[in-house]
Amino acid sequence: MTSSMIRTLVTLGLSAVLSPVALLAQGPVTATIPFDFTVGAKTLSAGTYQVKQLNQAAILLQNVKGGTSILAPYKTGEVDKIGGAPKLTFNRYGDSYFLTKVTSDTRNWTLYPSRAEKEMIAKAASSKSAVVTATLRSK
């Protein structure tokens, strides 16, 4: 009985230690975004971008051709059990797009609204979401 309890405690301890490592091992999401968009205080040009998790609080968004990149803090949400293709979700206000979420069957990262987006929200009566479907490419 004692050895069974020790084995259970060791298993639980290893699971707690290794789970964050498994989450960080997820492959990057690569998406072609057909419009200029804003992340934080930076406006990025249309193009192909790679999104990868740096740690449990930030993602790196990088243009695969131009090398333009930005770090963005995020909060983790509940993962959709249905799954499906990875998606980048943008809020649109007029002609301005703001990246708000990166989701798939294994991730749900919601970016914090920037000051510019909060100002747009205050001015606009309604926002529209544009969804860009990304392709998952692991390295």
Q: Is 52 part of any domain?
A: yes
114 is in which domain, residue-wise? 27-136
Question: What pLDDT is attached to residue 2?
Answer: 56
Q: Is 11 part of any domain?
A: no
Domain count for the chain: 1
Pseudo-torsion of CA 93, 28, 61, 35, nearest 10°? Answer: -40
**DSSP assignment of 51-119, as one string?**
EEE-SSSEEEEEETTT--EEEEEEEE-PPPTT--S-EEEEEEETTEEEEEEEE-SS-EEEEPPPHHHHH
Give Cβ neighbours of residue 77 (< 8 Å, ≥ 6 apart). Answer: 108, 109, 110
Q: Is 9 part of any domain?
A: no
Q: Is 115 part of any domain?
A: yes
Q: Is 16 part of any domain?
A: no
Kindly give the confidence (pLDDT) of every residue in the chain, 139 residues in length, as a single tens digit, with 9 standing for 90 and above.
Answer: 454 444 444 344 434 433 344 444 467 888 899 999 999 999 999 999 999 999 989 999 999 998 789 999 999 887 766 566 788 989 888 888 999 998 887 888 999 999 989 888 887 766 665 656 555 554 4
Question: What pLDDT is attached to residue 93?
Answer: 84
Separation of alpha carbons 33 and 134, rounded Å: 9
Q: Is 110 part of any domain?
A: yes
Question: What pLDDT is attached to residue 58?
Answer: 95
Question: What pLDDT is attached to residue 94?
Answer: 80
Question: What pLDDT is attached to residue 97?
Answer: 92
Give Cβ neighbours of residue 67 (< 8 Å, ≥ 6 apart). Answer: none
Q: Is 7 part of any domain?
A: no
For residue 130, count other CB atoms closer than 10 A to its CB.
14
Global pTM value: 0.72
Contact (CB, 8 A) for 47 and 32: yes
